[in-house]
Structure 1
Amino acid sequence: MNNFLFVAAENDAIPDCKAGGMGDVVRDVPREIAKRGDKVHVIVPSYSRIHKTGTFRTQLNFRLRGTDYSAELYAVPPKKNIENIIHYVIHHPEITEGGIAHIYHDDPTEPFFNDYIKFIIFNTAVAEAVKMGAFGELDIVHMHDWHSSAMLFLKTYHPDYQVLKKMRYVYSIHNLAIQGIRPFYDNYASVHNFFPEIQLDHQNLQDPRYQDCINLMAVGIRLADAVHTVSQAYKEDILLPSARPEFVGGESLEVDLRNADNEGRLFGILNASNYANVRQAEKGLLYRNTVKALFRWLQDESKKYKADFLAHTGEKIMEYVSNKPKFIVSSVARLTEQKFYFLMRSPESFEKILDRLKEVDGIFMLLGTGDPDYEHLFREMSYKHKNFIFTNGQSEDLIDSMYLETDLYFMPSLFEPCGISQMLAMRNGNPCLVHHTGGLKDTVEHMKTGFAFDGQTFNAKLEDMVNKLDEALNVWEHDQATWKKIKANAKKMRFTWEKSLDEYYNKLYLL
């Protein structure tokens, strides 16, 4: 039996510990590993809350900033008990929750200031737990994004954690753009402040652009035994330099990634979707679930500033309870540059899409929260366009209904390492309209399983986005046989963890 440790910032196998796709992966991959008879320990920060439902395991004592620190290890109950998987959290008063999904901090003035502090404490506590044997004799440590890459810094440079060198280290990149960059010196949230005893290897740790800073994403890429991106097409993208906004590639780390590739350490393996024990939504509840979510948010103190807009959305949706639209386009995503830059850059293109939908008695439903500028844009568009329903919040019931009852799922991501939404929509037999990039390129084939737009220039991409929406509606209006075939093909597609894990075992874990 092989013994694994997963180290991450998110884990959707436990309640209230997910902000994005990483949470899904850290939930699903251990389940597939456990099915194969191996054992997995999954550890995330407590964020000052998750440990409250847990069982205290042990005290962890270590030194940071030349000071004695003490953290606590808890085993916590998962949403679903699965043999061979144990879920843990680390509690320390400085490992606090941020405003993004009660996990990450948004530090506009000093990027990563608060997150650096909490994840350094978290990683050092995990290293101490490994050293103490809290997880038994480990074979593989699998880390996710920059939040866990300090494990590699500790095992490479810290005299107290040389025992960590016994294991094989795998590093998964979920979001290359978020890199965890902090100064080496002269700052509370700096490497030297937390590790004054370590002689810093600047060349191996520094950011390619800011020579006086560590780049923790780069540390993961440079020091791991295997580096993993979450689709084959995205792997090819990140070996090339970014040329925003036309192309988002290696984000200044393309040289490090090419080195890893040349050394045989970089692998692109597609994330998968869950096809068993799917949370079932009932058909016909889309508008009711929207209204229920709106009423719930109207009672929430934190949503009071949005009260007028929530009421406006409720009034719009009531019309469709009795007078159902003929066609629904939908999107569910965090409102960020990655997901909706095309619409922010060209609201006129989005208006063309809404006008075309109006011709077929169609509506566009968008659910999400995120960047205030994006929220503002979509609220303004909702006031302006009767057939645009913007639900500015989060609701699992509503999301399930949207995936179930939509006719066309829209995913215009500027870049997409893998993407899970298109897989969830296709699982329900709904074609997707996507930007032909990254994992979307690997999962949606134009006119076979969905629709894809592209172009050599940014303006060409915008024009093609509108044209491909028009093409999809033309197929639906005038060629139902082809539309049904595309729907059936989408539903037949299977991106399974079983297949992906075969590659994990062969290429990443070498087991």
Structure 2
Amino acid sequence: MKILFAAAEASPIAKVGGMADVVGALPKVLRDRGHDVRIIMPYYGTLPDKLANKPQWIWKGNCMFQDFDIFETTLPGTDVPLYLLGHGSFIPSRIYYGEDEDWRFTLFANGVAEFAWNYWKPNVIHCHDWHTGMIPVWMVESPDISTVFTIHNLAYQGPWRWKLDRIAWVPWYTQGHNTMAAGIHHANIVNTVSPTYAQQICTAGYGESLDGLLSYRQPRGILNGIDYQKLDPATDKYLEKNFTADTLENRTINKLVLQEEIGLNASRSAFFVGMVSRLVEQKGIDLIIQVMDRFLSYTDAQFVILGTGERYYETQMWELASRYPGRVSAQILFNVSLAQRIYAGTDAFLMPSRFEPCGISQMIALRYGSVPIVRQTGGLVDTVFHHEPAKNKGTGYCFDRYEPLDMFTCLVRAWEGFRYPDAWRRLQQRAMASQFSWERSADQYEDMYRSVTGIEAAA
């Protein structure tokens, strides 16, 4: 099959959230299976320094009274063709936000449609989130091009219909009051990035006003995976000491080095909790603000958080660090290598999300032996299973309600569990034995592509 991935992000060259990990990993796996898979994304001003092969100009198009250029290269570290849509609005060193965000991504989606109609015609366009929501609408004009629409985060839904009418061609048959709704309505098939999230968004509590439409479309839930070759503590170049599930004693060296690197008191025995996240309301930062002072006051725990986001949350994390020097570190930046060292050096990894479509961080934490402490929602339900010491089962600590007391209790239980080294080591080993590879997910995506195109598998 000929499959075109259209997305705003692709790891490792442009990453903000989990979408980038999907678009950066899944095409490679599908291509290894014999499919002609290609990616198209905006040509951001930050990309030239991140590309191993210089992009070559191949085509010029026009939409929304604007000329745009298409450049071709390959996704770094793969043989996957990468098309970059060049336009002046994408030159600034940002991916999202800005007053022109709606216009920029509508232009991108329109450019992808023109590209598919006039240059490279795929069997399937795999669209990701609202940024590509109008593509399924326009592809109604071409029944021989099927569309798959993946919801990574339903909370962001793009411009409303009245705004779309002013900036782009919106066909008379268009259904949906915003771009996300239009994509859900018109795509041949809709999916989300975990089975539990697929069920949750069909309810009023998680549906973001689209629960009725989603209940009608019945999205499939396909769990994301991680790259087990790239994310391997036995070979990770960013670590002070590599380790496996059988050599967890080497992991302690990473803990001590990380503590010194970020200005914490070096201690083997201190319960060290880490978090790598965008600092936004979705990620449960409100709970941390309410709980962490008390938790630190009654335990010997340490805490490090890495990420950027809303200024209020950044300030709150800085203030927490100032109140607990040597025990709390707020790293308000984006740093891939430091993130890897946090996964490999912390004893536990905190994800108290209000909602979580899938989550990649908890999978990486499991892989690196940092025991997840998570709220049971979305993809966290599908990937982290509650520790039951008496039965020697589970891979992490889980709490249900989005309440400060529930999170505090869960943190204390994990802190107490850490005081029993033999049982903790077994818990780490079960965590590291978890399997969330892309191969299983690729099987389900292949089935989905075949269901919308009618193309049968080769005998």
Partners of 2:298 and 2:448 lie apart in 1 by 47
Partners of 2:78 and 2:358 lie apart in 1 by 27
340 and 118 in structure 1: CA distance in 2 versus 1, 3 angstrom threshold: same
Task: Give matches, 1:349-368, under 5 Å.
Answer: 349-358=291-300, 362-368=301-307
Partners of 1:444 and 1:509 lie apart in 2 by 31
User: Match of 1:179, SS?
Assistant: coil
Q: Among 101, 105, 122, which residue is 2:97 paired with? A: 105
Q: Among 164, 174, 182, which residue is 1:219 paired with? A: 182
Report the alpha carbon displacement of residue 166 of structure 1 after superposing the two structures with TM: 1.1
| Matching residue of 1:86 | 81
| Matching residue of 2:276 | 332
Partners of 2:181 and 2:81 lie apart in 1 by 29
Q: Is the 8 A contact 1:367 1:394 kept in 2?
A: yes
Report the alpha carbon displacement of residue 340 of structure 1 after superposing the two structures with TM: 2.5
| Matching residue of 2:195 | 232
Partners of 1:333 and 1:124 lie apart in 2 by 32
| Matching residue of 2:6 | 7
Task: Give matches, 1:260-339, under 5 Å.
Answer: 260-261=217-218, 266-278=219-231, 279-280=236-237, 281-283=239-241, 284=253, 316-317=263-264, 319-320=265-266, 326-339=270-283
- Is it true that 1:153 corresponds to 2:137 in the alignment? yes
Partners of 1:199 and 1:33 lie apart in 2 by 33
TM-score by length of 1: 0.79
Report the alpha carbon displacement of residue 484 of structure 1 after superposing the two structures with TM: 2.1
Q: Among 371, 375, 383, which residue is 1:431 paired with? A: 371
Partners of 2:23 and 2:76 lie apart in 1 by 13
Report the alpha carbon displacement of residue 365 of structure 1 after superposing the two structures with TM: 1.0
| Matching residue of 2:248 | none
Q: Is the 8 A contact 1:5 1:40 kept in 2?
A: yes
User: Match of 1:89, SS?
Assistant: strand
| Matching residue of 2:176 | 205
Counterpart residue type for residue 194 of structure 1: I
- Is it true that 1:176 corresponds to 2:154 in the alignment? yes
Q: Is the 8 A contact 1:47 1:96 kept in 2?
A: yes
Partners of 1:195 and 1:476 lie apart in 2 by 57
Counterpart residue type for residue 67 of structure 2: S
Report the alpha carbon displacement of residue 288 of structure 1 after superposing the two structures with TM: 5.8
Q: Is the 8 A contact 2:9 2:15 kept in 1?
A: yes
Residue ranges of structure 2 left out of the alignment (5+ in a row): 242-252, 388-393
| Matching residue of 2:246 | none
Task: Give matches, 1:29-40, under 5 Å.
Answer: 29-40=26-37
Partners of 1:289 and 1:410 lie apart in 2 by 17
Determine what percentage of the aligned residue pairs are the same residue. Answer: 30
| Matching residue of 1:27 | 24
Report the alpha carbon displacement of residue 490 of structure 1 after superposing the two structures with TM: 0.5
User: Match of 2:11, SS?
Assistant: coil
Counterpart residue type for residue 151 of structure 1: I
115 and 237 in structure 1: CA distance in 2 versus 1, 3 angstrom threshold: same
Partners of 2:194 and 2:358 lie apart in 1 by 5
Q: Is the 8 A contact 2:61 2:114 kept in 1?
A: yes
78 and 286 in structure 1: CA distance in 2 versus 1, 3 angstrom threshold: farther
User: Match of 1:57, SS?
Assistant: strand
Q: Is the 8 A contact 2:161 2:176 kept in 1?
A: no
RMSD of Structure 2 on Structure 1 (CA): 2.1
Report the alpha carbon displacement of residue 51 of structure 1 after superposing the two structures with TM: 6.0
User: Match of 1:379, SS?
Assistant: helix
Counterpart residue type for residue 5 of structure 2: F
| Matching residue of 1:380 | 319
| Matching residue of 1:505 | 446
Report the alpha carbon displacement of residue 74 of structure 1 after superposing the two structures with TM: 0.2
Q: Among 436, 446, 455, which residue is 1:495 paired with? A: 436
Partners of 2:410 and 2:109 lie apart in 1 by 46
Counterpart residue type for residue 443 of structure 2: D
Q: Is the 8 A contact 1:95 1:119 kept in 2?
A: no
